[in-house]
Amino acid sequence: MVDLGMSPLCESFLAADQVNARESFYPLTTRVCGSCYLVQLEAYVGGEEIFTEYAYFSSYSDSWLDHARRYTDQMIATLGLNGSSQVMEVASNDGYLLQYFVKQGIPALGIEPAANVAKVAEEKGVPTLVKFFGVETARELVKQGRMADLLLGNNVLAQVPDLNDFVGGMKIVLKPTGVITIEFPHLMKLVAENQFDTIYHEHYSYFSWLTAEKIFAAHGLTLFDVEELPTHGGSLRIYARHAEDTSKPVTERARALAARELAAGVFTPQYYTTFDEQVKETKRKILDFLIHAKREGKRVVGYGAPGKGNTLLNYCGIRTDFIDFTVDRNPYKHGRFLPGTHIPIFEPEALRAARPDYVFILPWNLKDEIMKQLAFIREWGGKFVVPIPETTIYE
């Protein structure tokens, strides 16, 4: 589908004493299965190496917290959840979502492999099991008498090295009439809007609705509904149930999305062959802007240190020759350097001191939130640059 060259692990931020040390790079090339059309990377790095200590904390995005809060209210109302229900979240991160169930008196359990992140969730009052989720963990929970009325996972399915073990575990721990919701970036959006930077080693797989349907069906789970969301540049929230649970019929919007994907050709090889050239052209446009800006003597700094930003910067060969530094709200990243490109990460206040001509927004999926937070750059005529789907300058 696309070859993004060699890239380091996108969350492997460097301390100052690591900048001159050896750094590991891995091929970043996606392949498409000719049978189920699942888009995958080769698993060069195992989950234990990536996720045992993790630099991503969900709670540093206000809009993501708002998304989690709205989801909580929606699920409580739709499923009639109460104090005798059980909500479980796999890859529950820092408790960004389950905290809202806890506040409403609904029993919640997070399952999170990164101990440093799980500790923050516990401090918020979210009980968290520090484990990878799969068949073995699911069986342990069932033995303890714990099964889920609502089992959810946001932006985790792509990060699972063994999909069959993960989905198989969901089947085991779900109550007979329980509901699964999973959110993931939609492959159709990735292709249509040149979102190549959402491809990185932590994301092993990339899903269409039709491919997800096949995976869940193989484990006795039926996808019965879907919502199309604006998050992460365009995501799906899929709803699953046990195949034998006939109380939840397949909705019209689920059928409509399946038909739309078929019409677009997601089950044909041709759909994937044009993406590589689209990505190359996107890279050329990003570099055109940066070269022009630097030749005019302009100062460009980054905003954010997300995984997607590291894919973009490494693929395009952008280092401190183009972007002086980047800033991030996450204190864990302050004083560190981006992997591969070694661009330094400062706290957001550094923007005021630097007074850059352009702020290059790396988490472009949060551009509206970020531009509102940083409206003060207009005091000195600063402008925003968003690289995806097209390099766009916002006055």
**pLDDT tens digits for range 250-281:** 999 999 999 999 999 999 998 998 898 899 99
What confidence tier does 348 reach under pLDDT thresholds 50, 70, 90? Answer: very high
> What is 158-199 written as a DSSP string?
GG-S-HHHHHHHHHHHEEEEEEEEEEEEBHHHHHHTT-GGG-
Cβ neighbors of 163 (< 8 A, separation 6 or more) are 157, 205, 215
Q: Above 80 in pLDDT, residue 309?
A: yes
The torsion angles phi and psi of 334, rounded to 5 degrees, stand at -65, 135
Where in the sequence of the chain do the CATH 3.40.50.720 domains occur?
2-25+274-394
Write out the CATH class of domain 2-25+274-394.
Answer: alpha beta
**Residue 51 pLDDT > 70, yes or no?**
no
Q: How confident is the model at residue 202 (pLDDT cuts 50, 70, 90)?
A: confident
Mean pLDDT value across residues 343-364: 97
Query: How many Cα atoms occupy the beta-carbon half-sphere of 212 within 13 Å?
Result: 31
Residues of the chain with CATH 3.40.50.150: 35-268
Percentage of the chain surpassing pLDDT 70? 96
Residue 356 CB burial class (10 angstroms; 0-12, 13-18, ≥19): buried
Distance of CA 291 to the CA centre of its chain: 30
Residue 209 has a CB neighbour count (10 Å cut-off) of 21
Please report, rounded to a whole number, the percentage of residues in the chain having pLDDT higher than 90: 83
> At 84, is the pLDDT very low, low, confident or very high (cuts 50, 70, 90)?
very high
Mean pLDDT of 344-355: 97
Question: In the predicted model, what is the mean pLDDT of the chain?
Answer: 93
Q: Going by DSSP bridges, is the β-strand pair 39-41/87-90 parallel, antiparallel, or unpaired? A: unpaired
Check pLDDT > 60 for residue 58: no
pLDDT tier, 237 (very low <50, low <70, confident <90, very high otherwise)? very high
Q: What's the pLDDT band for 155 if we cut at 50, 70, 90?
A: confident
The mean per-residue pLDDT over the stretch 79-83 comes to 97
Give the strand pairing for 205-206 and 174-185: unpaired
Amino acid at 322: F
pLDDT at 55 over 80: no
Q: What gap in Å lies between CA 294 and CA 343, rounded to an integer?
A: 16
Nearest-angstrom CA–CA distance, 299 and 353? 12
Residue 26: is it exposed, middle or buried by C-beta count within 10 angstroms (0-12/13-18/19+)? middle
Mean predicted confidence (pLDDT) in 142-147? 97
72 within 8 A of 133, measured Cβ to Cβ = no
Cα distances from 39 to residues 36, 207, 233, 279, in angstroms, run 9, 7, 18, 16
Q: In CATH, which superfamily holds the domain spanning 35-268?
A: Vaccinia Virus protein VP39 (3.40.50.150)
